[in-house]
Structure 1
């Protein structure tokens, strides 16, 4: 979530106390209000902890400010909940309507900030697509918010910047139009829905050898990746994802797997040029190919985000370069659904080393203040989409410099890279365009909440590549 500007709160000394001389229905007590107030607090907690806001962030943050201001007023109102003049059936009804509005705002934020959930707002037009329904619903929510808060005596000022709304909508339409080109005539939203549903349906299913038995393949045109066969459920999820993709969205085509000596060998498409590291060690990369590879890898990460899937091993060795010079993500042995337990992620065998995961696994004394302060610098210890963005930032650094980011460092001293901003400080700005450098450095921030989203990175990289 982005840092929000200071919030100007109303003078609660002048807050109107709503009361009515006429009693309606059964008597109301403070106990009747308590669960409603608790629900309002939970909605505020949702917004403060929401860490996967991909699209329409200006509108989401405006609505988030409404939630924060409203709940502040609720806290002030609690002192009146034992006041007989306040405990009326009308005020109870007003508070219920106010709470329903907050719930609608919460769901709206979830819907407009995620690729998959945008589907219901899309309208086809002669000139492309429209998000008029989204805009109308946004304004309706603000109108209802104003009415419901005034009914409780909350005088909350809404800083409604019209330009920000239209910027969000314009950027989102451009993003959808760019990203849907990956789907070769299929409906992007229908495709994402199908993959998501398939993954969820097998999430708790034990994998059988029949489920992963490979489709026919040419032994000369595939490669094998070994995976430990100790978590069958996770392999069932990976299979549901990969078998349906058929090589789309820059993820290596998956044929199936065969069990051999208590290991699963995953069969994927052949890559003539090997992995990305092998390719840049043997070929000089110009700016165009760097931007092309960067955008293609980002393509895959955006799709994985859309279906709530984490790769968890993003590094150059797991990026394959095909014979037609496409970069594709491979090796899903460590991947999982966002909703699955993170477990112990071995930093030695997965992707680039992420600060929050390094801290979790090593518990060193380095920068302990960063991790113990539950304020704006607090860092969670679970690998999530922000961790994936950090790994992608390291990959962009490696792609720009055509060398390993860790080649001069002993692994025992890796904290020197993580906590000294070594990669950011040593980014050669002459190798790639400024926007490439800027978005990479933002992704390398040690504080996860300050990193861009993967959709932010896609927009920048798509813009750069389109200009070539």
Structure 2
């Protein structure tokens, strides 16, 4: 681990650029500036330096809202931060509207610097919400109190900069602090229970979030962007000689010719048409599907073969076929229904964790093994969460019965989201509970009009529903809410289903019985449904003085505002050895608490560019940036500890910061940590499984040493 190998240019990370003024001036961001200018009206000379900052703040707040809307975990923590962001948004709009009354503020250098710091705090809030609300990001919070410490630090920083700017924000009341504490405790406790019970490939044997989730997402993104990676990503080819007829025919399936054996496993053989035009695309998608084998509730794809001259897919065998066929022939006991619902929820959680939306959740696409374990199948409409929306016109006749109301109209167009999958899952729960297709006798037009009016299928479990049915009903109603953001997360649904299962567990093995009359034929299939209220019941209170802002002392001598040089320009100056310009830029951004600039200050002092090297001061700055989540700084500080450069050697601290950097996506750190674990270095207990996982993550990002290690071990990156 030489010094040269980890210079800023060699250590890549995942931290977004802070070059705000330049960032917002390109593409759609230029439109944001235009809107800000229009909102201000005729801008005076004093406000001109603030226009890029106001536009950047507007843009970041919009991005925070979108990030919040996509949140799948820790919604209460995110809510607490959103209360503050929304209050800040109102205060900034008031500041823009009353520019003439606040002209002295706009002419004050200290105010300008505080506004820059305000922008940095908003970016940190955005990053924190991104991490804490998604499984892959949450894996970074390895220590018990790391979520709480980060949250409290952000709140303190937000409140301080609000006071510095005299923004009219009053959030920090005792009541709000109590609500914040409760939100933190509830969400952290919920995540603890969730991770202890979810399994299914989402967590590993140690109940920690599985690194496979990150590996798959990175690999999928790489394959989608790189033609060469597509050529390498190919499904397993299974020789026809390895496929045999089963020892016993299927007892619960209508097509015994579909069943075969491969390596002592029962498998299903499905014909596949591969034309020259789409062969590469289909094979790439199948190869990715094959990588989902760690998802226990995803039907396994083993590979391709050729039988009797026909290309075929070799899939996991599901003895009981699809769930719709099962409930059409049998009555399913309620404990088993709950267990099946949990399996499907777990499978959806796994798919969403690797950034895949299924797009077609219904009982016909759920298969059941001989142990009644549910497996999600039929991925022909699935897509990545950030990918283009799939054209569903050819499938609308079927999927409309489970389709979310926001997808009925394209005016304005709304993409398919995780909330759409959750709505479809709610409709599946209704279908499973009532053992029939929703809106069975309605046309597409009738379903569309009915659902858009806020109506849904009737929920009817008789005059005296059991406790399990009452709880199940509540879940369905929550999932099919008209407002997408009022729907529960899948995590919340899993925890509730798990609790129902535990509460009403009968102690006996659930079974199936021949289908009998359900007794609902005399009940109308429809009912009116009112959506629950939106997230907020009231707008955060904002206290203002008679002139709209608290009093502020602007008696200092007025001087023209000196805008900050974009940080990326300072880094460029550093690289061309214009060290004076670079230091001025780094210092300016560090003053407004830009952690990335603090990291670069550390490099400046580490290299001794203004005199002797200052290793202790550099290490302190590296640690400061590391504790604020900068991956490069986390790796650099770990290496300082390892080599006793500016800080005393401490093995545990070295490993802690190295793991921080690795879990924050730094490929060099992933390689180094993988090497330590793989070979049991530094007295660390050898762990080949976890070590190889970190090496794989680094190799996907083309870290050369990691690629060589995999090659030496005979491990195929795309295999």
TM-score range, shorter chain: 0.7 to 0.9
After superposition, residues 170-181 of structure 1 pair within 5 angstroms as 170-180=189-199
Partners of 1:335 and 1:133 in 2: how far apart?
35
Q: Which residue of 2 aligns with 1:447?
A: 483
Q: Which residue of 2 aligns with 1:7?
A: none
Number of residue pairs aligned between Structure 1 and Structure 2: 415
1:428 counterpart = 2:445: no
In the TM superposition, residue 264 of structure 1 has moved relative to its aligned partner by: 7.5
Q: Which residue of 2 aligns with 1:278?
A: 325
Q: Which residue of 2 aligns with 1:211?
A: 234
Partners of 2:116 and 2:461 in 1: how far apart?
57
Q: What TM-score, normalized by structure 2, do the two folds share? A: 0.54
Q: Which residue of 1 aligns with 2:492?
A: 456
Partners of 1:459 and 1:311 in 2: how far apart?
21
State the superposition RMSD in angstroms. 2.8
1:389 counterpart = 2:408: no
Summarize deviations over 1:152-175 as a string: whole Å, max 9, x none.
112422222222221111111111
Partners of 1:218 and 1:39 in 2: how far apart?
60
Question: What stretches of structure 2 of length at least 5 have no aligned partner?
Answer: 1-44, 245-259, 261-265, 506-719
1:413 counterpart = 2:413: no
In the TM superposition, residue 144 of structure 1 has moved relative to its aligned partner by: 0.6
Question: What stretches of structure 1 of length at least 5 have no aligned partner?
Answer: 1-27, 124-129, 361-370, 373-379
Q: Which residue of 2 aligns with 1:46?
A: 63
1:306 counterpart = 2:353: yes
Partners of 2:183 and 2:104 in 1: how far apart?
43
Q: Which residue of 2 aligns with 1:333?
A: 380
Report if aligned partners of 1:202, 1:236 keep a CA contact under 8 Å in 2. no
In the TM superposition, residue 289 of structure 1 has moved relative to its aligned partner by: 0.5
Q: Which residue of 1 aligns with 2:368?
A: 321
Mean Cα displacement is larger for which, 428-437 or 156-165?
428-437
1:194 counterpart = 2:215: yes
Q: Which residue of 1 aligns with 2:159?
A: 146
Alignment counterpart, residue 35 of structure 1, candidates 52, 64, 86? 52
Partners of 1:92 and 1:259 in 2: how far apart?
69
User: 1:250 aligns to what SS in structure 2?
Assistant: coil
Partners of 1:340 and 1:401 in 2: how far apart?
34
Q: Which residue of 2 aligns with 1:20?
A: none
Partners of 2:366 and 2:486 in 1: how far apart?
26
In the TM superposition, residue 440 of structure 1 has moved relative to its aligned partner by: 1.0
Alignment counterpart, residue 223 of structure 1, candidates 268, 275, 284? 268
Report if aligned partners of 1:309, 1:336 keep a CA contact under 8 Å in 2. yes
Q: Which residue of 2 aligns with 1:21?
A: none
Report if aligned partners of 2:200, 2:294 keep a CA contact under 8 Å in 1. no
Partners of 1:63 and 1:298 in 2: how far apart?
28
Q: Which residue of 2 aligns with 1:359?
A: 409
In the TM superposition, residue 67 of structure 1 has moved relative to its aligned partner by: 1.1
Larger Rg: 2
Partners of 1:176 and 1:318 in 2: how far apart?
26
In the TM superposition, residue 283 of structure 1 has moved relative to its aligned partner by: 2.3
In the TM superposition, residue 296 of structure 1 has moved relative to its aligned partner by: 0.1
Summarize deviations over 1:142-200 as a string: whole Å, max 9, x none.
11111111111124222222222211111111112222464562753312112212211
1:268 counterpart = 2:315: yes
Mean Cα displacement is larger for which, 240-249 or 271-280?
240-249
